[in-house]
Structure 1
Amino acid sequence: MIIVTGANGKLGRTIVKHLLELVPAEGIGVSVQNPEKARDLEQRGVRVRRGDFDDAASLVHAFEGASQVLIVSAPRLGEQALRQHQTAIDTAKAVGAQRILYTSQMAANPASPFAPAPDHAATEETLRALRVAFTSLRNGYYASSAVPLLGDAIETGEVVAPEDGPVAWTAHDDLARAAAITLTKGGLDSITPALTGSEALDLAGVAEIVSEVTGRPIRRVVVSDEEFRSHLLAHGSPEPMVNMYLGYFAASRQGEFATVDPTLARLIGRPPLTLRDVVKATLQMEK
């Protein structure tokens, strides 16, 4: 049985959607914190069980009978994330899973200024040390983050942010399809190449696309990190979120999100969705 954690989240749910196109529902199980939110999957024949990364006993039950476990990385940072990932990985091994998959990130690097990246790198080390077959899916930067990164630029006509660098924006749906294919057909072992879209664009490029799609001119304005920090804090943004943003800009300036790799296209059998595709869909949903 293939087990997917976090199946009530955007990536996990989309992975299950693609799995259902490839294997019978009875061969799929999901581990979710709130089973009530996954009743639609249960009605389709997917096994739904409660699983909490902070409760190893619940994971033992949720992972029962697993041949493969796909661990969608926790929405946490630092020690909490590492502890939760360790628990999930140890449990997958304990129940006898023959392969463990993990959703990592293209910038996984212990020295990265982008806060999630060192956590992903440390989790990959945990997987290496476990001596169980594993695949760490180094996902490209989520394209769905591009429009929110502009803030209120559509209304103001200006996107004000620190200097940045190119980013290989990548659609959730493409990454989910790749994960489902890897679970059912193999093809990726150990730590993967960056699984990315086909182009890397900086924030000015994102603004240009959004401007073309909306018909509203948007100008890119570069400010210092400190100006940006002060502005966000003054408008009520929590400091951890501000630090995350600044880490993103620092990492992008260093080129940590700039790699464009053909692996994703090869795996899914078609060109990845472009940022323009995702922007159009995102803005249409917001109407």
Structure 2
Amino acid sequence: MIAVTGVSGHLGRLVVEALLAKANAANIIALVRNPDSVADLAARGVTVRKADYDDPQSYIDALDGVDKLLLVSSSAVGQRAAQHKNVIDAAKTNGVKLVAYTSILRADTSPIMLAAEHKETEAMLAASGLHHVILRNGWYSENYTENLAPVLEHKAVIGHAGEGRVAAASRADYAAAAAAVLLSDDDQSGKIYELAGDTDFSLADYAAKVAKAAGKEINYVDMPQQAYAEALTGAGVPEGFANVLADADAALRAGWLSDDSKTLSTLIQRPTTPIDDSIKAALA
């Protein structure tokens, strides 16, 4: 039995879809706060169980009989380590044979603010005694393509990335990798996968690609880190998260979001989705 957390979210849902393409639905468990949100998966034969990151008992109950677990990192930045501990403790209580965790690229050394809770979770897994595998996901293409409306409106991509390059891939690519690891007959315990897109690009490259696809003149506007954070706040992004995003661009600028190992495409046995394709899909 394979269980996936956070299935009402983007990545968790895509992992279940990837599993369904290769495994029997009767062997898949979708874990969500609100089971009604994935009623369609239940209709397809997936077992749906209520599980809340903030409710330890719910996970102790939900992981009963689970052999392999994908812990999709929580989206609650600042609260994730405590939430992940609840899941890890429940996995240990239930004797889960393998826990896979979606971390961040080079979490052990990355200076990016977002890496701290991932590094803490990796340490908790190491201390737990559970067999585990780490999926260190790079940037999602959707981090950019889901926010095209203001880009098209203002004819500009703004950021603090300079000429730094990011090796992004689609969420579906990372989901396929997670499914491949969960379904593998090989011993995955102790493995760490640094996952990223095959081809990196700068934000100036990205702006040019959007311009070409949209048939508009769109430029990249590089800004000081604080000015970029303030621009995000002015656009309605909460101040704390605006600072996180500006910090991420600083890491991009310094090369922390690029990777040329092609580990992701090797794992999924196909090239990763080009950013051009993600842009076209978003515009469509």
- TM class by shorter chain equals over 0.9
Change over 3 Å in CA distance of 1:42–1:34 after alignment to 2: same
Q: Percent identity?
A: 34
What does 1:179-198 correspond to in 2, within 5 Å? 179-187=178-186, 188-198=188-198
Q: Assess if the C-alpha contact under 8 Å between 1:138 and 1:191 holds in 2.
A: no
Q: State the one-letter code of the partner of 1:168.
A: A
- Please report how far the alpha carbon of residue 196 of structure 1 lies from its aligned counterpart in structure 2 after TM superposition: 1.3
Is the alpha carbon distance of 1:63 and 1:207 closer, same or farther for their aligned partners in structure 2, counting shifts above 3 Å? same
Q: Which amino acid aligns with 2:95?
A: G
Aligned twin of 2:122? 124
Displacement of 1:245 after TM fit?
1.6
Q: Distance in 2 between matches of 1:111 and 1:266?
A: 23
The answer as to whether partners of 2:159 and 2:246 remain within 8 angstroms in 1 is no
Q: How does 1:178-257 map to 2 (within 5 A)?
A: 178-187=177-186, 188-257=188-257
What is the alpha-carbon distance in structure 2 between the residues aligned to residue 230 and residue 111 of structure 1? 24
The unaligned stretches of length 5 or more in structure 2 are: none
Query: Which residue number in structure 1 is paired with residue 165 of structure 2?
Result: 166
Distance 1:173 1:237, change over 3 A: closer
Contact 1:77 1:115 in 2 (8 A): no
CA distance in 2 between counterparts of 1:126 and 1:156 reads 44
Q: Given the superposition, is the C-alpha separation of residues 89 and 103 from structure 1 closer, same or farther in structure 2, using an over 3 Å criterion?
A: same
SS in 1 for 2:124: helix
Q: CA deviation at 1:189?
A: 4.2
Pairs within 5 Å for 1:1-287: 1-78=1-78, 80-109=79-108, 112=111, 114-148=112-146, 152-164=150-162, 165-187=164-186, 188-284=188-284
Give distance in 1, aligned partners of 2:92 and 2:247.
33
Q: Given the superposition, is the C-alpha separation of residues 43 and 235 from structure 1 closer, same or farther in structure 2, using an over 3 Å criterion? A: closer
Instruction: Measure, in 1, the Cα distance between the counterparts of 2:215 and 2:87.
Output: 46
Higher mean C-alpha deviation, range 182-191 or range 11-20: 182-191
Letter in 2 for 1:31: L
Name the CA distance, whole Å, in 2 between partners of 1:75 and 1:244: 13
Q: Show structure 1 runs of 5+ residues with no match.
A: none
CA RMSD of aligned residues (A): 1.7
Contact 1:163 1:224 in 2 (8 A): no
Cα 1:101/1:235, change in 2 over 3 Å: closer
SS of 1:273's partner is coil
Structure 2 distance, partners of 1:17, 1:218, is 35
1:95 partner letter: N
- What secondary structure is seen at the aligned counterpart in 2 of 1:193? strand
CA drift at 1:205 = 1.0
TM-score, length of structure 1 as denominator length:
0.92
- Offset of residue 228 of structure 1: 2.2
Q: Distance in 1 between matches of 2:113 and 2:149?
A: 20
Task: State whether residues 181 and 267 of structure 1, in contact with CA within 8 Å, keep that contact through their aligned partners in structure 2.
Answer: yes
Q: Deviations over 1:173-199 (max 9, x none)?
A: 111111111101155443523211111
Count residues in correspondence.
Answer: 282
Question: What's the secondary structure of 1:142's corresponding residue?
Answer: coil
What code does the residue aligned with 1:98 have? K
Amino acid at match of 1:277: D
Greater CA drift, 142-151 or 163-172: 142-151
CA distance in 1, matches of 2:143, 2:98: 30
Counterparts in 2 of 1:178 and 1:237: CA distance versus 1, 3 Å: closer
Q: Distance in 1 between matches of 2:76 and 2:109?
A: 16
CA deviation after TM superposition for structure 1 residue 276, in Å: 0.8
Report the alpha carbon displacement of residue 237 of structure 1 after superposing the two structures with TM.
Answer: 3.0
Counterpart amino acid of 1:171? Answer: S
Q: Distance in 2 between matches of 1:74 and 1:98?
A: 21
In the alignment, residue 249 of structure 1 is paired with which amino acid?
D
Give the whole-Å Cα distance in 2 for the aligned partners of 1:156 and 1:92: 47
CA–CA separation in structure 1 for the residues paired with 2:167 and 2:85:
29
